[in-house]
């Protein structure tokens, strides 16, 4: 039996990015850049005002104060999107608005609140300094500098940066196609009539969404019954994908036929069984360069195996330069007694109280309980050697789902 570390270490090298493709920025959200991106131009691309007020020469308003204002004549205006203002002459001011180009010759903006307008004149009540309230050309991004590295996931902030640089197409790694093959005579698809003894193939729906959330393309296949020829036939078509995930049939029962099917199809065994709970029967194999992962059929085991082992591998395959989730530290709300020996991944609810994070483990930790995932926002990772955990003990946890949310607004508590 493998340790968690050994299992991951033998899986990760089997996953490498596929090719790259160019896509429009408008459909690039969630994808990973396959190339570094450099700025096309300075941003801002022209000196502009950060405030509504008057563009001046700082030297013209030196010493200005409320009791001794300095009077300048107002020449023209500059507004965002308007015509370019003409050169500012010494001793004059130009009316200016946020985002508007600075006139040549001006080097500071006096905010409207520090001025008094009188017809063609403005009284300046505050001295200024060179560059004040001016967004200088290139102060955010300099032309030709590296703005995003290959391996970065494109989220709204990154999309905004690229859009601001007028970059309409980007090179991203291809999305791997990941086949999902469920096995089991008892499995029915959503909407089928359930005769006694049969169940809905819930795993295929769960893992389809987990794959989608990661950014790969799920290829859900019809479930195969527990018969060797049918599993083999289904596996052959699954092997057309870039990665194959089988679900169920990896334990030691007579109807657990996955290993035999792998053997018959020349799928090279990697490992079978990991010291983790749930998810012990996890299997990893390869068909040529195609990774084949067998996750247990128990719904919770399938999800946990996916999160711990499959997700980092697929992120790496997507080109993610940081494929591994980093745990947070939180205090156990209640004591927990368990048999040591395996790493345990426990469903929990994390809450913030004052300066600390607490995790409350679900009462039910059985690997068949579908209802036990509702409301879960953290997976607590209990090390193999720890059997007795006390309330208040610090544990590692990875955030899950929507993270830490509440019915109460934190912002509403702010002044
Ligand atoms: P197995 O890993 O095939 O021994 O299945 C373990 C348990 O998980 C059994 O109770 C199965 O009925 C159940 N199971 C297997 N595959 C699925 C699936 N795709 N969706 C929901 N439950 C499943
Ligand atoms: Mg089965």
Give the ligand 1 atom nearest the CA of 204: 19
Q: Check whether 77 has a pLDDT greater than 90.
A: yes
Q: pTM of the predicted model, to two decimals?
A: 0.94
Give the ligand 1 atom nearest the CA of 253: 4
Give the pairing type, strands 378-382 and 343-353: antiparallel
Q: How many CA atoms lie within 13 A of 394 on its CB side?
A: 4
Q: Check whether 367 has a pLDDT greater than 80.
A: no
Measure CA 251 to chain center.
33
Pocket of ligand 1 (CB under 6 A): 182, 184, 186-187, 199, 201-204, 247-251, 256, 296-299
Task: Give 261 Cα–ligand 2 centroid separation in angstroms.
Answer: 14
Task: Give 307 Cα–ligand 2 centroid separation in angstroms.
Answer: 21
Residue 229 neighbours by CB under 8 Å, 6+ apart: none
Measure CA 158 to chain center.
12
Token digits of residue 413: 């508590």
Q: Out of 51-55, 208-212, 403-407, pick the least confident.
A: 403-407
Peptide bond into 278 cis (omega under 30): yes
Average pLDDT, the chain: 97
Using DSSP's 3-state secondary structure scheme, residue 1 falls into: coil
Task: Give 299 Cα–ligand 1 centroid separation in angstroms.
Answer: 7
Of the listed ligands, the closest to the CA of 246 is: 1
Task: Give 280 Cα–ligand 1 centroid separation in angstroms.
Answer: 14
Structure confidence by residue, pLDDT tens digits, 95-115: 999 999 999 999 999 999 999
**Position 255 confidence tier, pLDDT thresholds 50, 70, 90:** confident
Give the ligand 1 atom nearest the CA of 250: 2
Of the listed ligands, the closest to the CA of 197 is: 1
**Position 386 confidence tier, pLDDT thresholds 50, 70, 90:** very high
Task: Give 297 Cα–ligand 2 centroid separation in angstroms.
Answer: 6
From residue 5, alpha-carbon distances to 267, 313, 385 in Å are 23, 13, 15
Give the integer Cα–Cα distance in Å for 230 and 2.
30
């Amino acid at each position: 039996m493998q340790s968690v570390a050994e299992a991951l270490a033998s899986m990760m090298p089997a996953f490498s990015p596929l090719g790259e493709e160019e896509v429009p920025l408008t459909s690039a959200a969630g994808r990973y850049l396959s190339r570094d991106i450099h700025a096309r131009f300075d941003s801002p691309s022209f000196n502009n005002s950060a405030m509504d007020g008057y563009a001046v020469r700082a030297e013209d308003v030196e010493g200005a104060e409320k009791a001794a204002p300095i009077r300048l004549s107002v020449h023209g205006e500059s507004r965002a999107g308007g015509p370019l203002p003409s050169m500012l002459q010494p001793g004059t001011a130009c009316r200016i608005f946020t985002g508007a180009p600075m006139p040549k010759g001006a080097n500071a903006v006096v905010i409207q609140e520090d001025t008094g307008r009188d017809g063609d004149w403005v009284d300046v009540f505050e001295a200024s300094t060179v560059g004040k309230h001016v967004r200088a050309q290139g102060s955010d991004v300099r032309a030709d500098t590296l703005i995003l590295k290959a391996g970065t996931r494109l989220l709204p902030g990154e999309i905004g940066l690229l859009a601001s640089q007028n970059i309409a197409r980007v090179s991203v790694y291809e999305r791997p196609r990941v086949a999902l093959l469920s096995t089991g005579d008892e499995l029915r698809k959503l909407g089928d009539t359930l005769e006694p003894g049969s169940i809905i193939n819930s795993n295929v729906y769960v893992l389809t969404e987990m794959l989608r959330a990661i950014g790969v393309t799920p290829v859900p296949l019809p479930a195969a019954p527990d018969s060797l020829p049918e599993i083999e036939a289904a596996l052959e078509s699954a092997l057309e994908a870039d990665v194959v995930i089988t679900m169920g049939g990896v334990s030691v029962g007579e109807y657990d036929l996955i290993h035999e099917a792998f053997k018959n199809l020349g799928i090279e065994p990697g490992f079978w069984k990991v010291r983790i709970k749930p998810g012990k029967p996890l299997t990893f194999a390869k068909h040529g360069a195609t990774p084949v992962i067998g996750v247990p059929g128990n719904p919770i085991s399938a999800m946990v195996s996916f999160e711990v082992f499959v997700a980092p591998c697929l992120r790496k395959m997507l080109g993610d330069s940081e494929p591994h989730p980093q745990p947070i530290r939180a205090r156990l709300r209640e004591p927990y007694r368990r048999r040591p020996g395996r790493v345990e991944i426990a469903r929990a609810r994390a809450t913030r109280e004052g300066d600390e994070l607490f995790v409350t483990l679900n009462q039910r930790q059985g690997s068949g309980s579908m209802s036990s995932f509702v409301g879960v926002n953290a997976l607590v990772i209990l090390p193999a050697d720890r059997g007795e955990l006390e309330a208040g003990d610090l544990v590692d946890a990875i955030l899950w789902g929507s993270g830490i949310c509440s019915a109460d607004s934190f912002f509403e508590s702010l002044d």
